[in-house]
Amino acid sequence: MRRLAGLGAALAATTGAQSLATLAVFTLPVLAPLAARDIGAEPHWLGWQVACTYAAASTASMFSGGVLRRLGPARCTQIALSAGALACLLIILAGLAGAVLGSFLIGMGYGLTNPSASQVLARLTPAARRNRVFAIKQTGVPIGGALAGAILPGLAGLVGWQGAVLAVGLALAAAALGCGAFRPHWDGEREPGFPIGAGASGGIVALRTRPGLAALAVISACFSGFQLALGSYIVTMLVEEGGWTPVAAGFVSSASQAVGIGARIAWGVVADWWRSGMKTLAAIGVCTCLGGALLPAALAGPGAPLVALLCLLGTCAAGWNGLLLAEAARMAAPGKAGDAAGGVLSVAFAGVVVGPSLFGAAVAVTHSYAMAFGMLAVFPGIGALIAWRAALRGR
């Protein structure tokens, strides 16, 4: 049991929980070509489903400070994974209404995972390794996305899309039970009588009072909208606009997410080497903006360059999250890493609500997913400018 108290076990557990929470987020987007019309929706309506998910995630992140203090990070992680499992059942059993309610539940769970993990990892991680540790933990996002793209389309072909969703729900439920083993080690400082509502202002206070945190939150909003649109719409773009089969499109989506696993760690090493998370975030934003602008031309060309560009976008668009949380932990007041993460992520998730919604509207107007990506690429470019100015001020 002592092994469960250390950094290695905490990093493995929080990365695994992040992977499964992300898998839940991407389940409907990846299966949209197969499931949307059975549910009672058109595939391009997916942007509104993503908006529902992250509106709930934004709210949960803002309230996470009080929940963490009352229940502890291990119990919060269990609740997050259990919410995703219940959402999978609703999606299968209740049609469009179940998909909407399930999206809110998935978002509420997703909004709890990062503040919970930040609270644990900030306590256990030496300052000199902060960027790398948080980057490793955030590899859970591309791992979850890669699993969704690689497994779910093929599994749906074997057992139907409902069976694939059910398999995700069972995995989330099993992980929720397993996280109970960490309660003695992670939840020892919780305050059982603390009012949950009292923690709602913790993230807002952190954004207002901690230098640099508000700028970091705006950067995260600019980056997150493009990232989630990319992860959500690759399969649908390749199938409906590019003429790819769902399985082939799923593997391309998986590859673009998989390269982000190593990229997050690499970006973390770069940030520790440069001793500047903001400068690294600026570089990521520039590369993402350029890659998105090139996507319409790449979709009209041969398949190999398109796959290479999507993998490059996966390297950049999905590579910033660990740096974001590491910077938030650095800027946080002592013992308040969870509040800082919750405040920044509430703004990031608000960006996700706006980004895919704008993307869906752009598709409806232009009738082109690739053109919509080119239009949305302006946001990571704005984030890069803000990050670069913050890096110069910090220097």
- Residue 380 has which token pair? 């990571």
Check: CB of residue 260 under 8 Å from CB of residue 319: yes
Place of tokens 């929706």: 41
Q: What is the pLDDT of residue 78?
A: 95
Q: What is the pLDDT of residue 383?
A: 92
Check: CB of residue 345 under 8 Å from CB of residue 61: yes
Task: For residue 269, count CB atoms less than 10 angstroms from its CB and return exposed for 0-12, middle for 13-18, buried for 19 or more.
Answer: middle
Q: Distance of CA 382 to CAs 121, 290, 295, Å?
A: 30, 12, 18
Q: What is the pLDDT of residue 43?
A: 61
pLDDT tens digit sequence for 133-148: 887 887 888 788 778 8
Counted residue by residue, the chain has a size of 395
Q: What is the pTM of this model?
A: 0.73
CA 201 to chain centre: 23
Q: Distance of CA 273 to CAs 132, 270, 280, 388, Å?
A: 10, 5, 10, 17
CA 359 to chain centre: 17
Query: Quick one: which H or E segment has residue 371?
Result: helix 369-376
Instruction: Identify which of 305, 17, 43 has the alpha carbon closest to the alpha carbon of residue 161.
Output: 43
Q: What is the pLDDT of residue 265?
A: 82
d(CA 54, CA 108) in angstroms, rounded, equals 8
Q: Distance of CA 203 to CAs 22, 39, 341, 385, Å?
A: 22, 36, 8, 24
CA 267 to chain centre: 17
Check: CB of residue 62 under 8 Å from CB of residue 343: yes
d(CA 103, CA 50) in angstroms, rounded, equals 8
In the chain, which residues have pLDDT < 70?
1-5, 42-48, 195-204, 335, 338, 394-395
Instruction: Identify which of 276, 124, 106, 128 has the alpha carbon closest to the alpha carbon of residue 185.
Output: 124
State the Rg of the chain over Cα: 19
